[in-house]
Amino acid sequence: MNFSAAIQSGFNRYVDFSGRSSRSEVWWWLLFSIIAQLVAAVLDGAGSAGILIIIIYLGLLLPTLAVQVRRLHDLDRSGWWILISFIPILGAIILLVWFCTKGTEGENRFGADPLS
C-alpha cells in the first residue's frame, strides 16, 4: 500500500474497527498524522492558543485508533490490546514491536489477509 492509498483507506474506514490493516497502512497513516500535526503547529505559530493543532489532533484521533486496532487484528490480537499503551514506556514499546511484526498469513478470526 502506498501513501495516498493508506490516507484514503484511513479516512474511508475511520470508524471501522473490524477487519485488518497491513503494516504499510499503519506506518503511512502515522506519517501523515505527524506531518499534519507539524503543519498545524507551524501555522498556529508560537504565540497563539494552538486551536488548529487541537482540531487536527481531534480530527485524526478516531481514524488513528481504528487503523491501530485493525493492525492488532492483523496480528490476530484483540483490539483491546491498544489499552496497553497506558502503561508508561513499556506499553509503547510493546505496541511498536507489534506494529513492526508481520501479520498472520492468510485468513484469521478478524478477516482476510489485507495483502492478498
pLDDT tens digits, residue range 75-97?
999 999 999 999 999 999 999 99
For residues 34 and 45, which has the higher predicted lDDT (pLDDT)? 34
Q: How far apart are CA 112 and CA 9, in angstroms?
A: 16
End-to-end distance of the chain based on CA atoms, in angstroms? 11
- Cell numbers that stand for 15 in this block: 470508524
What pTM was estimated for this model as a whole? 0.90
Q: How many residues does the chain have?
A: 116
Percent of the chain topping pLDDT 70: 97
Q: How far apart are CA 56 and CA 14, in angstroms?
A: 14
- φ/ψ of 28, rounded to 5, equals -65, -40
SS3 content of the chain, % helix, strand, coil (to 5): 65, 0, 35
What does the pLDDT look like over 44-76, one tens digit per residue?
A: 876 666 888 899 999 999 999 999 999 999 999
3-state secondary structure of 108: strand
- Within 10 angstroms of residue 110's Cβ, the number of other Cβ atoms is 20
pLDDT of residue 45: 79
pLDDT at residue 116 greater than cutoff 90? no
